[in-house]
Amino acid sequence: MVTSLSALKKQIDDYLAQTLAMDVDQPILYNSMQYSLMAGGKRLRPALTLATVEMLDGKINDDVLRAATSLELLHTYSLIHDDLPAMDNDDLRRGKPTNHCKFGAGMATLAGDGLLTLAFQWLTDNHLPATVKSKLVLALSKAAGPAGMVAGQARDIEGEHQHLDLKQLRYLHRQKTGALLKYAVLAGGIITNQPDEICQHLASFGANFGLAFQIYDDLMDVLSTTEKMGKKVHKDAGEQKNTYPGLLGIEGAKKQLQCAVDTAIKDQQQLEQATGKSFAGYNQFLAYFK
Ligand code: GRG
Domain with residue 195: its CATH number is 1.10.600.10
Total domain count for the chain?
1
Distance from residue 260's CA to the centre of ligand 1 (Å): 19
- For the stretch 168-209, pLDDT in tens is 999 999 999 999 999 999 999 999 999 999 999 999 999 999
Distance from residue 63's CA to the centre of ligand 1 (Å): 26
End-to-end Cα, the chain, rounded Å: 23
In degrees, rounded to 5, the angle at the alpha carbon of residue 204 between the alpha carbons of residues 282 and 217 is 65
The stretches of the chain forming alpha helices (DSSP H) are 5-19, 27-37, 44-55, 62-83, 99-103, 105-124, 130-144, 149-159, 166-173, 179-191, 196-222, 244-275, 283-286
pLDDT category of residue 223 using cuts at 50, 70 and 90: confident
Helix axes 130-144, 105-124, angle to 10 degrees: 150
pTM across the whole model: 0.95
Distance from residue 130's CA to the centre of ligand 1 (Å): 30
Upper half-sphere CA count for residue 79 (Cβ side, 13 Å): 23
- For the stretch 13-67, pLDDT in tens is 999 999 999 999 999 999 999 999 999 999 999 999 999 999 999 999 999 999 9
Distance from residue 77's CA to the centre of ligand 1 (Å): 10
| Ligand 1 mutation pick, 117, 177, 182, 220, max ligand atoms within 8 A of CB | 177
Range of the domain at 97: 5-289
- For the stretch 93-145, pLDDT in tens is 999 999 999 999 999 999 999 999 999 999 999 999 999 999 999 999 999 99
Which of ligand 1's atoms lies nearest the C-alpha of 81? 1
Considering Cα of 82, then 8, then 211, then 201, what sign does the dihedral take?
positive
Residue 233 has pLDDT above 50, yes or no: no
pLDDT category of residue 261 using cuts at 50, 70 and 90: very high
For 93, phi then psi, to 5°, come to: -140, 125
- Name the residue at shortest CA distance from atom 19 of ligand 1: 217
